[in-house]
Amino acid sequence: MTADRAETRLDEDARWARAERILDAATDLLLRWGYKRVTVDEVAKRASVGKGTVYLHWKTRDALLYAAVLREWLEMFGALIDGIRRDPEELRLHRLIRASFLASMERPLIRATLTQDQELLGRLTEYGAGGALQAEQTAARREYYAMLREHGLLRTDLDPDTQAYALSATSTGFYLATPLVIAEQRPDLSAQADALAWTVRNAFEPVPPAGAAAVRALAPTIIRLFERQRAFAERELRVQHQP
Amino acid sequence: MTADRAETRLDEDARWARAERILDAATDLLLRWGYKRVTVDEVAKRASVGKGTVYLHWKTRDALLYAAVLREWLEMFGALIDGIRRDPEELRLHRLIRASFLASMERPLIRATLTQDQELLGRLTEYGAGGALQAEQTAARREYYAMLREHGLLRTDLDPDTQAYALSATSTGFYLATPLVIAEQRPDLSAQADALAWTVRNAFEPVPPAGAAAVRALAPTIIRLFERQRAFAERELRVQHQP
DNA sequence: TCGATGACCAGATTTCAAGATTGGTCACAG
DNA sequence: CTGTGACCAATCTTGAAATCTGGTCATCGA
């Protein structure tokens, strides 16, 4: 029985390692060549497996490429959670948005998703739309805002829906301004992140700011919330991984 | 001599009237069919002139279509200036941005320009880039911000360049959120405008707000600035109109 | 005399069919 | 029972022929 379980465990580990090799290859090709030019054959070759093996892991090419993107999201999520663990002050809206901005921008696949980069991601930009993950993210964001409000870390002089819309629109602007605005008059990435944080803090956080005690009190709940999201995304990745 | 001038005047009026007919036709077709499908032949036919006549007014097809867009800009400019004249309070940053947002969104050609709508405008989206008009607009915006600062209508706790960037990025978000965000969770247009105004006021205007006196004092200068811009754009339109 | 015109042309765009590529399957090898 | 790559249908690419259209200019008529 123990042997059985151990053997299965080894199989699963090996299987996951292989999946990661395939995802590595897919990610590499996606970045190098863009959505259209990535072929399953080439991915298989670079991962040193047969093409059929790729289809043992994912139902379709799109599912494979989406998994590659998903893996980067997962990685970014982990980084954000670590950040909050390291310093709970990081959970303040403007700090978290600043960190998210930087973390997204330095991960090409995520940046491409957020900027709807057709060249790099093709129809993948709409692959997850309407999916369970997206619904989960929206719900989690809503909960995050609600908690911030409860602890005096977010203004309450605007109804939550409108506020969420305004916040989303504001952030969107900074994400998209990068390709849109002319290079000359654009500050460097960390200055952009600072400008975004500054704007968000002034527009959405109360004055005077809530004290550190509120932040510390909230930290465990927020971390739990984000870990729930991370776990959800991870499950999504595993499902893709075992059709 | 008087007769001469009168005759010339009549000619110019008739010429302009014809140019407007052509622009009407071009605008109509642009909205109906989009950039690619608009043909000079069809525009000429609808304006009841020969194709050659179109080329007596504009050097190229693109110049013609750009003029159609330019005319809408001009119209919008006039509307904004009128608004400030009617109520100087309208020159406050958040009020002006609100008005600009609504005025842009209800003019399809302008909205298309701002959202970089390739389907509707094709390469026209980059036609004016680097042109004198764009430079003028940037300069005028800079002057506007400087004046707001001088009169206590804009925060001064951020350096002007970064502030201009943040403001531009923030607005961009609201302009682009329209096509990007899912329809369900998007408020109607005037609620969007309100959310934008609310965000801008909180993020970029001082608390407490400057009094009405400052606004009244500034009004004439601002109106003059915007009229200079309008005149500049009008000149650009006339130049296109007489090659 | 001179502004207006539309036939005309070169170059750009579209069409369409033949050929090449590739996502996905499955019979078979190990 | 897992992994593979030959295989197939469907999609995509190619390129040449056909069509379309921006821009010109010889001509017309006021």
Cβ count near B39 (within 10 Å): 13
Residue A183, pLDDT score: 59
Cβ(B23)–Cβ(B72) below 8 Å: no
Backbone angles phi, psi at A14, to 5 degrees: -60, -40
Output b/e per residue, A154-174; b: 16+ Cβ within 10 A. Answer: bbeebeeeebbbbbbbbbbbb
Q: Percentage of chain A surpassing pLDDT 90?
A: 74
The span from the CA of A136 to the CA of A213, in Å, is 29
**Residue B178 identity (one-letter amino acid):** T
What span, in angstroms and rounded, lies between the C-alpha atoms of A121 and B203? Answer: 34
Residue B175: how many other CB atoms lie within 10 Å: 22
Q: Does A187 touch chain B (CB under 8 A)?
A: yes
Transcribe B174-207 into DSSP letters: HHHHHHHS-GGG---HHHHHHHHHHHHHHHHS-S
Estimate in Å the CA B1 to C1' D26 gap, whole number. Answer: 35
What pLDDT score was predicted for residue B10? 56
Phi, psi of B144 (to 5 degrees): -60, -50
The answer on pLDDT for A205 being more than 60 is yes
Does B190 touch chain A if contact means CB atoms closer than 8 Å? no
Euclidean distance between CA atoms A203 and A232, whole angstroms:
31
Residue of B nearest to A166 (CA): B195
The distance of B196 to chain A (nearest Cα, Å) reads 7
Strand D, nucleotides < 7 Å from a protein CB: these are: 2-6, 13, 20-26
Please say whether the beta carbons of A88 and A219 come within 8 A: yes
Distance CA B113, CA B90 (A): 24
How confident is the model at residue A242, as a pLDDT?
Answer: 63
Q: Say whether B41 sits in a helix, a strand or coil.
A: helix
Which chain A residue's Cα is nearest to B196? A166
Q: What is the pLDDT along chain B (243 residues), one digit of tens a residue?
A: 333 444 455 577 788 899 999 999 999 999 999 999 999 999 999 999 999 999 999 999 999 999 999 999 999 999 999 999 999 999 999 999 999 999 999 999 999 998 888 889 888 888 877 788 888 999 999 999 999 999 999 999 999 999 999 999 999 999 998 777 765 677 899 999 999 999 999 999 999 999 899 999 999 999 999 999 999 999 988 876 665
Test the B interface: residue of A105, A119, A165 with most B CBs within 10 Å: A165
Note the pLDDT of residue B184: 62
In angstroms, the CA B155 to CA B148 distance is: 9
pLDDT tens, residue by residue, A44-98: 999 999 999 999 999 999 999 999 999 999 999 999 999 999 999 999 999 999 9
Contact A165 B172 (CB under 8 A): no
The yes-or-no verdict on residue A7 having pLDDT over 90 is no
Cβ burial, residue B206 (10 Å; 0-12/13-18/19+):
middle
**Count of C-beta atoms within a 10 Å radius of residue A198:** 19
Tokens of B225: 């600035």
Dig out the tokens for A8 from the structure: 């299965």
Tell me how far the alpha carbon of residue A106 is from its chain's centroid: 12
Report whether pLDDT(A213) > 80.
yes
Q: Please state whether A212 falls in left (phi above 0), alpha (psi between -120 and 50) or beta.
A: alpha
Largest CA distance in chain A: 66
Q: Is any atom of nucleic acid chain D found less than 7 Å from the CB of residue A56?
A: yes
Structural domains for chain B = 1-57 (1.10.10.60), 73-240 (1.10.357)
Mean pLDDT of A27-33: 95
Beta strand ranges found along chain A (DSSP E): none
Q: Are A158 and A59 in contact (CB under 8 A)?
A: no
Distance B41 CA to D21 C1' (A): 8
Rounded-to-integer distance, Cα B234 and Cα B243, Å: 15
Closest chain B residue to the Cα of A159, Cα to Cα? B195
What integer pLDDT is reported at residue A170 of this predicted model?
Answer: 96
Query: In which residue are the tokens 């977010």 written?
Result: A154
Tens-digit pLDDT profile for residues A112-161: 998 888 889 888 888 877 788 888 999 999 999 999 999 999 999 999 99
Distance CA A70, CA B96 (A): 41
Work out whether the CA dihedral A159, A165, A167, A173 comes out positive or negative: negative
pLDDT given at position A182: 64
| DSSP classification of residue B209 | P
| Whole-angstrom distance, CA of residue B195 vs CA of residue B94 | 10
Residue A2 has pLDDT above 50, yes or no: no
Omega prior to A243 cis, within 30 of 0: no
Q: Give the 3-state secondary structure percentages of chain A, helix then strand then coil, rounded to 5.
A: 80, 0, 20
Phi (first) and psi of residue B28, to 5 degrees: -60, -50
What mean pLDDT, rounded, does chain A reach?
Answer: 90
DSSP state string for A188-225: -HHHHHHHHHHHHHHHHS-SSPPPHHHHHHHHHHHHHH
| C-beta atoms of B204 and A202 within 8 A | yes
pLDDT confidence of A5, banded at 50, 70, 90?
A: very low
CB A70 within 8 A of CB A235: no
